[in-house]
Amino acid sequence: VGYLVWFDYRRHHDAAFRRRLRKAPSRLAAAPSRAQAEAKARAGMSPTLKGDLSDVPPVQHPTAPADRERYFMELLSTGERLLGMGPSRFDAAAVCYVRALKIYPDPMKLLEVLQQTMPEPVMNQILMLLSED
Distance linking the first and last C-alpha atoms of the chain? 41
Domain spans, the chain: 2-43, 65-132
Q: Which stretches does DSSP call E strand in the chain?
A: none
What pLDDT is stored for residue 45 in this prediction?
A: 45
How far apart (Å, rounded) are the C-alpha atoms in residues 118 and 97?
10
Q: Shortest CA distance to 97 belongs to which of 124, 126, 54?
A: 126
Computed over every residue of the chain, the mean pLDDT equals: 79
**pTM of the predicted model, to two decimals?**
0.59
pLDDT digits (tens, 9 = 90+) for 21-77: 887 766 555 555 555 555 554 454 444 455 555 556 667 777 888 998 998 999 999
How far apart (Å, rounded) are the C-alpha atoms in residues 81 and 91?
13
What pLDDT is stored for residue 47 in this prediction?
A: 46
**71 and 60 in contact (C-beta within 8 Å)?**
yes
pLDDT at 5 over 80: yes
How far apart (Å, rounded) are the C-alpha atoms in residues 107 and 85?
25
pLDDT at 109 over 80: yes
pLDDT digits (tens, 9 = 90+) for 92-101: 888 889 888 8
Sorted by sequence, the CB contacts under 8 Å of residue 14 that are 6+ apart come out as: none
Sorted by sequence, the CB contacts under 8 Å of residue 70 that are 6+ apart come out as: 62
**114 and 80 in contact (C-beta within 8 Å)?**
no
